[in-house]
Structure 1
């Protein structure tokens, strides 16, 4: 690959975009959500990427956003859970697109079942977010720093205490 061991053809992740599209269509049909599709600046170079958001009609249920990047996806659950699929697209890492599709499904299933928990913590050095995702096939924690403005905004939004997001509501048939 021209001597760059981190270069890779990205065609193998096209299936990940297709899987995300099919999953978003299915969720839109099955759950009470508003679907918003836009092109937004994303990443260091602020390239415009397709972004799809599913916002539950119940304000106690967490939103989902998927950014369709090159080569994969960036998935945001709730306020702070963010995950790149693949985490690295280089040939050395060689992530399996099918395994990434399954990870996408498992994490989104945990979200819609009410398995996402988030909160803001204050400390001497500043504030940070904590988030936990629990569901069939996933138990994971994340944390990271927040700016002073971000922490104030989060506390105003009710995140000073832990927030356990509610399950999504099904559409009535």
Structure 2
């Protein structure tokens, strides 16, 4: 079971020495204009790195995935993640998790020098925690941690979807604890790399939806095991994974 690490209680003060109530700074009048381009204490988001690492460790323990850790940007990083690097913000560390089932979406959980956490999903999805980080947006640390967890588990549980169509372009949808949300990027506004990535992924899946991640192989047991001394055929391995996915979906429906 995943357990969120305890978030460090960080305290910051304004130039007058008063504590800054992050998450509840601005009233009905809204934030001052200058705060939209200001981040006075980006280090307040550093505890999100611990959350990201705890999530990655939990996924590696729980699901049937290949895991690759890199310092800096992975050589095979999705184009959307490459574009996230801008100015002084760089990818410092990344964990790439690829489920051993072609219908399950891959995931990259990356730490940045801001500090923040960026999640690349499927073929072209990208979300960050915090979503912005400026003083005007005033994101609360606990809220950011919750959103990061909801995002990752939406992918793992097959609640993240993406598709390409000639008329609409790239459509991305996600269902989480917050409800449902969707976005569309028309063909003329999407990058060539994202368009090709989604189209290729869709062809490889024969148009199928992203499915929940399969559990670790020691949990993926078929009802009738093969005869002693005989290795499973590919069809039997696929059947084992499909049955495990069905068990996961039943658990989700009954949760």
1:140 alignment counterpart: 181
**Range with bigger deviation, 152-161 or 79-88:** 152-161
Deviation at 1:116, TM superposition (A): 1.7
- Give the counterpart of 2:161 among 117, 121, 125: 117
User: How many residues matched?
Assistant: 170
Partner of 1:11: 43
CA deviations on 1:116-143 (whole Å, 9 max, x unpaired) are: 22111214xxx72111112444411122
Higher relative contact order (CA 8 A, sep 6+): 1
**Aligned-pair CA distance for 1:113:** 1.1
1:164 and 2:209 aligned:
yes
2:152 maps to 108
Cα distance between partner residues in 2 of 1:55 and 1:64: 6
What are structure 1's unaligned runs of at least 5 residues?
A: none
Residue 82 of structure 1 and its aligned partner are, at CA, apart by: 1.1
Cα distance, 1:149 vs structure 2: 5.9
Partner of 1:47: 90
Report if the CA contact (8 A) 1:133-1:139 is conserved: yes
Are the equivalent residues in 1 in contact too, given 2:103–2:208 (CA < 8 A)? no
Structure whose CA Rg is larger: 2
Q: Please give the residue correspondences for 1:71-110 in structure 2 after superposition, counting only pairs within 5 Å.
A: 71-110=115-154
Give the TM-score of the pair, scaled to structure 1.
Answer: 0.84
Gaps of 5+ in 2: 1-13, 16-33, 74-81, 220-255
Q: Which has more helix, going by share of residues?
A: 2
1:37 equivalent among 57, 69, 76: 69
Worse-matched range after superposition: 69-78 or 15-24: 69-78
Rounded Cα–Cα distance in structure 1 between residues aligned with 2:121 and 2:202: 17
Whole-Å separation in 2 of the counterparts to 1:104 and 1:156:
27
Counterpart CA distance in 2 for 1:153 and 1:67 is: 19
User: Greater share of strand residues, 1 or 2?
Assistant: 1
Distance 1:109 1:48 in 2: 22
CA RMSD, Structure 1 to Structure 2 (Å): 2.6
Q: Is contact 1:118–1:162 with CA below 8 Å preserved after alignment?
A: no
**1:150 CA displacement:** 4.6
TM-score by length of 2: 0.59
Preserved contact between residue 116 and residue 133 of structure 1 (Cα < 8 Å): yes
